[in-house]
């Protein structure tokens, strides 16, 4: 298994009202191809900031990010757009991810230029990608975002990400705003995509339970640092770090202890 995406000593500092906030602190992570890797952290852990830097939507303060061995830390313009045909993402808020003034089909067509597909193949590609997420063009293309359900919106976002046939798919809290019953479905889809398309999936979440269900490897972040990493079994069932242990202990247990007192 080779390393597909890697960050070394990545740090992000923000200057807010005269003081310095370190959101990501010297993080080094390797993502191996064909795996699902989860980055778990609570709010303020820096996981979303890290995600944005990996996506090159935000500049790093220091450190390097490499994709398949090439340094992508300071990409711009055409090279950056090439990067985005290899690394894509789905974000947390299905509604906010859309431009509410245009039908959904327009968003999908917009990616055509990036996918380097001409108009004839366009319809076929759109249909194929919608198919991966269980939708047909007739159901979706002409609709406006507000006419769709949250689950449908998120699935279209996934389809959009797949149009570029990326190697890496980053899901930043992509299931957090979905209802519980839908969540499992979407997680299953992500798993299927890994199997069928050989995607490397980066699953960013605050919910260690979802990571347990989906991921092969887990990294735990706290206050901008990676405090634990390993296979899912290692991290969740044999945690070494205190923070990980506390995190696991705080997760409310559905069937375990049903004593009224917590």
Partner 1 sequence: MSTPNVAVVDEQAAPRSNPFRSFNFTARFWVALVLVAFVLLLGLAGFLYPTASNDKVGSLYDAPGNGIPLGTDNFGHDVLAVLMAGTRTSLIIGLLAGVIATVIGVVVGLVAGFVGGWLEEFLMGVTNVVLAIPSIIVLILISISLPQSNLWSLAVVIGITSWPWTARAVRAQASSVATREHIDVARLSGARLPSILFRDVLPYILSYAVMAFVLQVSGAILAEAALSMLGLGPAGTDSLGTQLHWALAFQAVASGAWWAFLPPTIVLTLVSFGFLLLQASLDEVFNPRLRRGKRKQMKQTAARRLEQAQREQVQRGTPVAAAPGEGGNS
Partner 2 sequence: MSTAQAPTTVLARAVNVSAVYGGGDRDFTAVDRVSLELGEGEILGLAGESGCGKTTLGNSLAMIANPPLYVVEGTLDIDGERIDLTTLRGDGDLARQRKYRGGVVSMLPQGAMNAISPTLRVRNLVIDVMRAHDRSVTRDEALDRARDRLKMLEMPVRVLDSYPHQLSGGMKQRVITVVSTLLNPRLLIADEPTSALDVSSQRMLVEMLLAMVEQRIMSGVVFVTHDLPVLSQVSDRLAIMNAGRIVEMGPTEQLVHDAQHEYTRKLLSSVLDPTQETRSRGRNRRSHTGIGEGESL
Reference 224, options 6, 7, 50; nearest CA is: 50
- At 59, is the secondary structure helix, strand, or coil? coil
Contact between residue 47 and residue 38 where contact means Cβ atoms under 8 Å apart: no
The candidate with the shortest Cα–Cα distance to 221, out of 3, 56, 17, 39, is 39
With CB under 5 to 8 Å by kind, the binding choice for 113 among partner 1, partner 2, none is partner 1
Q: Rank residues 25 and 86 by Cβ distance to partner 1 and give the closer one.
A: 86
Instruction: Output the smallest distance, CB 100 to partner 2, in A.
Output: 19
Angle (CA) 157 215 33, round 5°: 80
Under the phi-then-psi rule, with left for phi > 0, alpha for psi from -120 to 50, and beta for the rest, what region is 76? Answer: beta
Cβ–Cβ under 8 Å, residues 199 and 132 = no
For residue 97, state whether it binds partner 1 (rule: CB under 8 A). Answer: yes
Place of tokens 């696991």: 248
Q: Which are the contacts of 259, defined by CB distance < 8 A and separation ≥ 6?
A: none
For the window 16-55, what string marks contact with partner 2 as x by the rule CB under 8 A?
Answer: --------------------------xx------------
- The whole-angstrom separation of Cα 36 and Cα 111 is 25
Pick 167 or 183: Cβ nearer partner 2: 183
The nearer residue to partner 1, 157 or 212, going by C-beta atoms, is 157
Rule CB under 8 A: choose which of 79, 96, 124, 238 binds partner 1. Answer: 96
Minimum distance, C-beta of residue 245 to partner 1, in the bound complex (Å) = 34
Tokens of 255: 């069937």
Q: Is 57 in the site for partner 1 (CB under 8 A)?
A: yes
* Partner whose footprint covers residue 191, from partner 2, partner 1, none (CB < 5 to 8 Å by kind): partner 2
Residues that bind partner 2 (CB under 8 A): 42-43, 133-134, 150-151, 155, 179-185, 187-189, 191-192, 195, 206-214, 232-233, 236-237, 246-248, 250-255, 258, 260-262
Residues that bind partner 1 (CB under 8 A): 55, 57, 81, 84-85, 88-89, 91-93, 95-102, 107, 110-111, 113-114, 144-152, 157, 160-161, 179, 181-182
């Amino acid at each position: 298994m080779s390393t597909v995406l890697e960050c070394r000593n990545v740090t992000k500092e923000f200057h807010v009202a005269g003081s310095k906030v370190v959101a990501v602190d010297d993080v080094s992570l390797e993502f191996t191809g064909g795996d699902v890797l989860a980055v778990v952290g609570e709010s303020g852990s820096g996981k979303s900031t890290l995600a944005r830097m990996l996506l090159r939507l935000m500049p790093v303060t220091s450190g390097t990010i490499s994709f398949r061995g090439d340094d992508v830390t300071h990409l711009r313009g055409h090279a950056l757009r090439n990067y985005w045909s290899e690394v894509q993402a789905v974000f947390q808020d299905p509604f906010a991810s859309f431009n509410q003034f245009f039908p959904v089909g327009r968003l999908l067509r917009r990616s055509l230029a990036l996918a380097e597909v001409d108009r004839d193949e366009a319809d076929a590609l759109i249909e194929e990608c919608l198919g991966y997420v269980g939708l047909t063009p007739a159901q979706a293309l002409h609709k406006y975002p507000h006419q769709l359900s949250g689950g449908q919106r998120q699935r279209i976002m996934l389809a959009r990400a797949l149009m570029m046939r990326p190697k890496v798919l980053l899901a930043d809290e992509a299931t957090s705003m979905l209802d519980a019953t839908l969540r499992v479905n979407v997680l299953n889809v992500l798993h299927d995509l890994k199997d069928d398309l050989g995607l490397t999936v980066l699953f960013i979440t605050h919910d260690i339970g979802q990571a347990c269900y989906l991921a092969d490897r887990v990294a735990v972040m706290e206050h901008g640092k990676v405090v634990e990493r390993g296979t899912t079994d290692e991290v969740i069932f044999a945690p070494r770090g205190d923070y990980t242990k506390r995190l696991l202990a705080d997760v409310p247990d559905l069937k375990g202890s049903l004593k009224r007192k917590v």
